[in-house]
Amino acid sequence: MGIRRGNCNRCPAANGGNRGLGLDSGGGRAILCPVTAPITALRPRAMLLTVDTVSKTYPGGRPVLRGASITLDRGQSLALTGESGSGKSTLLNLTGALDGFDSGEITLDGVALSQLDDAGRAALRRDRVALVFQQFNLIPALSVAQNLAFQARLAGRLDRGWIDEITARLGLTELTGRYPEQLSGGQQQRVAIGRAMAGRPKLLLADEPTGNLDETAAGTVLDLMLELVRDSGTALLLVTHSQAIAARLDRRAHLTGGRVAA
């Protein structure tokens, strides 16, 4: 049971200083003082991600999102399903600050995305989120090892020990000297996931990450990705067509008519 809030008998105004904890002036029970407690102790812990009634229409098009809302807690995984064209990729791209929205708000790790300029959006993508797409988007001229380190190096957060661990966990240790064209699709996507995770993002956004893979490779990639995000405390928002994949995540949400049904 948490400590309850109430008026305490030890406010700084009254006695010069007990921060946060006080005693109930009636029964003498411990309480959290609303005046002196650190604000974080009083407020419910903020969600990592809040998409709040977001709307989006592409220029010249029909509305794609019409008040879509989702929340995602730290370390949680959420599967976003919906028919082709329902706006799943759009919602994912807005969350990753790749595109702007018309109304509503997206708050990621305490940052309101509507308030960011281009530099702010770039900083958010560098420091807090990472994306994995259906296409692997590896850099052809770089080796596996160089691809894995690429984003973390750009962000100034290259941690060799962590990259070595990711490389091993994704089963890429024997492949670090190869180039993308020398890899299978499943291997390429494992590199893309490793590259995304190398900077220790708070949120991984994955848009049908196994959509280009055969069933066996898809299963391996999904297992490795889920294990890696879970053990890293990284939250995951994953777009998928597959109910079987969606069932493996902590929560599910369905996008239809521009809105999200949980």
Ligand X SMILES: Nc1ncnc2c1ncn2[C@@H]1O[C@H](COP(=O)(O)OP(=O)(O)O)[C@@H](O)[C@H]1O
Binding site for ligand X (CB under 6 A): 58, 61, 64, 82, 84-90
Half-sphere CA count of 177, side-chain side, radius 13 A: 1
* Number of other CB atoms surrounding residue 1 within 10 Å: 3
Joined tokens for residue 47: 């969600």
User: Which burial class, exposed, middle or buried, applies to 259 when counting CB atoms under 10 A from its CB (0-12, 13-18, 19+)?
Assistant: middle
- Taking CB under 5 A as the binding criterion, the range among 49-57, 81-89, 147-155, 247-255 that sits at the site for Mg ion is 81-89
Instruction: Please count the helices (runs of H) and the strands (runs of E) in the chain.
Output: 9, 12
Rounded to the nearest whole angstrom, what is the least distance from the CB of residue 241 to ligand X in the complex? 9
Identify the residue among 36, 81, 86, 89 touching Mg ion (CB under 5 A): 89
Residue nearer to ligand X on the CB measure, 89 or 151: 89
Beta bridge partners of 55: 66, 103
Bridge partners, 52 (sequence order): 105
Q: Which is nearer to Mg ion, 89 or 107 (CB)?
A: 89
> Which H helix or E strand runs over 14?
helix 12-15
* For ligand X, the closer CB: 87 or 186: 87
Where would I find the beta strands (DSSP E) of 116-165?
129-132
Applying CB under 5 A, does 151 fall inside the site for Mg ion?
Answer: no
Q: Which is nearer to ligand X, 95 or 220 (CB)?
A: 95
Pick what 85 binds: ligand X, Mg ion, none; C-beta below 5 to 8 Å, kind-dependent: ligand X
In the complex with ligand X, the residue whose CB is nearer, 64 or 166, is 64
| Least gap, CB of 41 to ligand X (angstroms) | 40
Output the smallest distance, CB 60 to ligand X, in A: 8
- State the residues that interact with Mg ion by CB under 5 A: 89
